[in-house]
C-alpha cells in the first residue's frame, strides 16, 4: 500500500521544472501527481509517476539530484471533518506528519491525499483499520502501465 514518489531538488530558477517534465515525457513516463515546494534558493518537486524506478534512473543520468521515498495515499470521505479525523487519528497514535499534499485524477471526483509520516507501515495499517481507503499505485495509474 505504500507508493513510491520521487523528490527532485531543483534550483529555484526559470525553466528547471520544464526540463524535468520534458525528460519524463521523452521517456514515456507519465506524471500522475506533482507538487512543488520552494525556498528562495531551491525547490523540491515531488512526483508520483507510472514507472518510479526507471524515472529515477533517467533523472539521475541527466544530472538531476533526486531520490525515491514512500508515501501513503488515502481517499478521504467527502464530508466535513474527514481530514480532521485522519490527522487526529495519526496524532493520537504518535505518528508525526512530515508533509501532506493532495492531487486529483481526472476520472475521480475526490482528491487523494499523500501523507508522509515517521512510520509509513503503521500509518497505512492504522488508516486501513479505521475505515480510511488507502490506495495503491495501480489505482492512481488507473488504466496506465504502472511498471508493476
Q: Is residue 146 part of a domain?
A: no
Question: Taking a C-beta distance cutoff of 8 angstroms, is the pair 33, 140 a contact?
Answer: yes
* Domain final residue pick, 70, 100, 115: 70
Three cell numbers at 70?
514512500
**pLDDT of 70-121, one tens digit each?**
999 998 888 899 999 999 999 999 999 999 998 877 666 667 878 888 898 9
- When pLDDT is cut at 50, 70 and 90, the band that residue 18 belongs to is very high
Give me the pLDDT at residue 75, please: 87
Question: Taking a C-beta distance cutoff of 8 angstroms, is the pair 46, 32 a contact?
Answer: no
The rounded percent of the chain whose pLDDT value lies above 90 is 57
Q: Which carries the bigger pLDDT value, residue 17 or residue 1?
A: 17
Q: How many domains does the chain fold into?
A: 2
Does residue 41 sit in the same domain as residue 86? no
**Would the pLDDT of 65 be above 70?**
yes
Q: Is residue 48 part of a domain?
A: yes
Question: Taking a C-beta distance cutoff of 8 angstroms, is the pair 110, 76 a contact?
Answer: yes
Does residue 65 sit in the same domain as residue 79? no
Give me the pLDDT at residue 147, please: 46
CA torsion 134-147-140-62 (nearest 10°) is 110
Question: Taking a C-beta distance cutoff of 8 angstroms, is the pair 91, 104 a contact?
Answer: no
- CATH code of 86's domain: 3.30.70.260
Does residue 123 sit in the same domain as residue 63? no
Amino acid at each position: 500500500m505504500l507508493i513510491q514518489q520521487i523528490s527532485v531538488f531543483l534550483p529555484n530558477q526559470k525553466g528547471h521544472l520544464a526540463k524535468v517534465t520534458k525528460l519524463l515525457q521523452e521517456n514515456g513516463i507519465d506524471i500522475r501527481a506533482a507538487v512543488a515546494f520552494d525556498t528562495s534558493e531551491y525547490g523540491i518537486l515531488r512526483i508520483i509517476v507510472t514507472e518510479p524506478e526507471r524515472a529515477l534512473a533517467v533523472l539521475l543520468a541527466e544530472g538531476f539530484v533526486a531520490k525515491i521515498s514512500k508515501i501513503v495515499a488515502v481517499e478521504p470521505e467527502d464530508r466535513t471533518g474527514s481530514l480532521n479525523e485522519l490527522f487526529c487519528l495519526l496524532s493520537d497514535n504518535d505518528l508525526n506528519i512530515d508533509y501532506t499534499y493532495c492531487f486529483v485524477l481526472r476520472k475521480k471526483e475526490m482528491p487523494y491525499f499523500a501523507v508522509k509520516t515517521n512510520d509509513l507501515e503503521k500509518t497505512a495499517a492504522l488508516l486501513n483499520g479505521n475505515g480510511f481507503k488507502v490506495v495503491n499505485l495501480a489505482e492512481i495509474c488507473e488504466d496506465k502501465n504502472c511498471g508493476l
